[in-house]
């Protein structure tokens, strides 16, 4: 992106966000790509007990099965619930 003089910023290329993230991640020692942010967002929704249907809508997944892939992150929550109901 580049400034045009006032507060406008020129349109960026399709790959600019990916390149910007890669450069920033490398500087701070994070491995992964821009998609990791999307993955983290979906995982955190489910860890905070947001329904799968709501997570699907927020993530823009067209297929429910895609959202279900993130449900494995709720395993710890399932263990905690099981511990609470043990007699």
Task: Tell whether 21 is covered by a domain.
Answer: yes
Task: Tell whether 2 is covered by a domain.
Answer: no
Note the pLDDT of residue 73: 61
Counted domains in the chain = 1
Note the pLDDT of residue 10: 64
Separation of alpha carbons 72 and 79, rounded Å = 12
Task: Tell whether 75 is covered by a domain.
Answer: yes
Separation of alpha carbons 36 and 21, rounded Å = 10
Integer CA distances (angstroms), 82 to 24, 54, 70, 85, in order:
41, 24, 20, 5
Residue 78, domain extent? 16-85
List pLDDT tens digits, range 22-78.
Answer: 999 999 998 888 888 888 899 888 888 899 999 999 999 999 999 888 877 665 666
Task: Tell whether 20 is covered by a domain.
Answer: yes
- Which burial class, exposed, middle or buried, applies to 68 when counting CB atoms under 10 A from its CB (0-12, 13-18, 19+)? middle
List pLDDT tens digits, range 5-17.
Answer: 556 566 677 788 8
């Amino acid at each position: 992106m580049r400034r045009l003089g006032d507060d406008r910023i020129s349109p960026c290329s399709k790959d600019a966000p990916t390149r910007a993230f890669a450069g920033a991640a490398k500087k701070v020692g994070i491995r992964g790509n821009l998609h990791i942010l999307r993955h983290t967002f979906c995982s955190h929704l489910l860890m905070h007990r947001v329904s799968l249907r709501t997570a699907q809508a927020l993530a823009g997944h067209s297929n429910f099965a895609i959202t279900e892939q993130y449900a494995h992150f709720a395993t710890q929550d399932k263990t905690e619930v099981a511990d609470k109901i043990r007699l």
